[in-house]
Copies of this chain bind each other. A is one copy, B any other.
Amino acid sequence: MAKLMLSAFGHGGDYNPDQWLDYPEVLEQDVELMKKAHVNLVSVAIFAWSALEPEEGRYETAWLRKIIDRLYENGISVLLATPSGARPAWMSVKYPEVLRVDKDIRNHHGNRHNHCFSSPVYRQKVHSMNEMLAREFGAHPAVKGWHISNEYSGECRCEYCQQAFRQWLKKRYGTLEEINKRWWTAFWSKTFTDWDQIRSPEANGEMSLTPLKLAWRRFVSDQTLDFIKNEIEPIRRICPDKPVTINTMGFHYHFDYASFADVIDFFGYDSYPYWGSGDDVKTGLDTAFTYDFVRGFGPQNWSLMESVPSQVNWHDTCKLKRPGMHMLSSLQAVAHGSDTVMMFQWRKGRGGPEKFHGAVISHDSSGDTRVFRDVTAVGEALEKLKPALGSKVKSDVALIFDQQNRWALDVAEGPQKDKQYMQTLFEHYRGLKRLGINVDVVRSEADLSAYKLVAAPYLYMLLPGVADKLKDFVSAGGTLVLSYMSGLVDEDDLCFMGGFPGPLKELAGIINTETDALYPYDENGITLDNPPEGMKAGYKSGFMCALINPTTARTVGTYSSDFYKGTPALTVNKYGKGECWYLATRPEQSFLEDFYGMLAGRTNIQRISAALPEGVTVSRRENENTAFTFYMNFTGKPQKVAASGRDMLTGDEISGEYELPVNGILVTEAALGEIC
């Protein structure tokens, strides 16, 4: 894998000079202002296909060379984009097959993401374009890497895609007999007797065959990756030393990004939290959750690829960033492992749908604005943080989020329609982060051997090998947390026979016989007769209540009410050198904080910082010798924290109580041996 070689934290953003080719004075001003704002890295030519190939086969690159040369001369590096995120109109009109089909109607040209990811013509056009770009610019010293397309998303249901889907199914299942068996097609007479009988799930077709829907989700992810492979083939061939990235959308529904790691060198993420929408504490944790997830996509540090210096234009209500928030939110990404702070975009366009989206430079072309000063301050701060460049976030604790499990839950019907998988995971994440620790968010197939504690709530679907992996983890001494709705189905949404949680029965030491669903206005609770240290005697719970019978597990908590009052709601089972907890219902937030606090003690997990005020988060990066600790205040009020080391932004040595102002961030540097 090619590495992104940066000599400093990247600072910059999307730069779209192709919109301004008629405004030479603007282009000149851009570079001057970039230097003033400490910008050192820009993503160029993201939607430039029309400028690069104004008519079929005629490439125009002189303008781009001029731009890149000028940037290089001024010390600014480039992530060069491939322009496949939006096709030129001539292509859509000449080759309608490049456009998507839905409900048997082909789209017209328009919007951004509107290409068929199977179309041979589109694949060929993209390949030729990228080959040309790689030849022209691959060796340019300003170009540090390749920004492939833009925010891949969506799907197509044309006949090319239907054929590709069938090929994908043949590869996965081999025979129709196998599909019929694994997909339980005898129900509702859905047996397939010819490959051509299989089509994508669609509004005017099959919408009830859950394994088909799951397969389609997997196919869309895989076929997009296949499209990406075609995109990067000429780039890899012509300039193998330059890394490729895609700007992901984090928990985006359409892709299992973690499966892209063999193809993509490092991952970008476009982050647009709803700062100022009423609860910055929750927004801050939500953002951290996503960052800890994105960090796991690949082995290299990730990149904050897009963010906004102040307000976006597409929220229902677009708030300005309050003073301090641009610094706090930018460095939060660094705290959680990003080596860049990039923004969309450098300069607001005069027109187009995003003309009011925040940018470093607004329509007044001024470098003397609140926003410009905020951006410049981040640039300066990043320079002070340079010792932390390339350092890593490490954790004793993993929370399993699995995109395939999410898809499987969503296609499953019952016992709650709204599955709330993401909200549930977030509650666990929040409970863990309150302990003042780093948390990794990983897929179910991840290597768990380095962790002390793994939380795997709501793991409805067990992919092949996962049950064994979890058993091995516990057997070797790890602590695992399972919950209601765990271990119900295999990778094709086929229920395990013989009692739930299927292959995890022995590990959990319980049998789950029924699962009650609770209306939002229903309430139950967990009663702990002998609460472990740090836990209370009772907590509220709701949403779902699994009825369980312990086999080898010990009951720690019981239900507080309803006809199953007194039956187990929380159990723990010794298994090998470790233990497996089973949480049978969805508890209130404070339970998760107390519960994970108790487990952290039990498993000797080292905390970065104990007893943080709610809404102050901490994250730590480290390299061989040094720890870089970030304290971040999302509470809207000044807060005190205990910290020591060198304040990297001021250079002061600090020790003991430190007051974080509103939207404040403290970054300390300390030798690894010295920190607690």
Contacts and interface: CB of A to CB of B under 8 A. Distances in A.
17 contacts: A18-B186, A50-B193, A55-B193, A86-B188, A86-B190, A90-B193, A92-B197, A108-B204, A108-B205, A109-B199, A187-B352, A277-B519, A310-B514, A311-B414, A312-B414, A320-B514, A355-B493
Contacts of A514: 310-311, 320, 369-371
Contacts of A111: 205-208
A382 interface: no
Given A188-B47, A197-B109, A210 B353 contact: yes
A413 interface: yes
B495 A89 contact: no
Interface string A382-397: 0000000000000000
B209 A352 contact: yes
* Interface of A (DSSP majority class): loop
Contact of A492 (B351, B412, B519): B351
Contacts of A519: 277-278, 317, 319
Top-8 shortest CB links A-B:
A184-B351, A313-B414, A110-B206, A108-B205, A187-B352, A356-B414, A50-B191, A89-B197
Interface string A193-218: 11011010110111111110000000
A418 interface: yes
Contacts of A209: 110, 352-353
A322 interface: yes
A19 B204 CA distance: 26
A93 interface: yes
Contact of A365 (B18, B315, B366, B498): B498
A107 interface: yes
A577 interface: no
A501 to B, nearest CB: 11
Contacts of A54: 191, 193
Count this chain's copies in the assembly: 3
A89 B192 contact: yes
A22 interface: yes
A48 interface: yes
Interface stretch (A30-38, A98-106, A248-256, A447-455): A98-106
A348 interface: yes
Given A319-B518, A323-B563, 16 more contacts: A18-B186, A47-B189, A86-B190, A87-B189, A88-B191, A90-B193, A109-B199, A110-B208, A278-B521, A314-B413, A317-B415, A317-B417, A317-B517, A350-B497, A356-B415, A363-B500
B413 A353 contact: yes
A318 interface: yes
Interface in A155-212: 181-194, 196-197, 199, 201-202, 204-211
Contacts of A523: none
A313 B83 CA distance: 46
Nearest to A197: B89
Nearest to A150: B188
A27 interface: no
A112 interface: yes
A211 B208 CA distance: 35
A313 B413 contact: yes
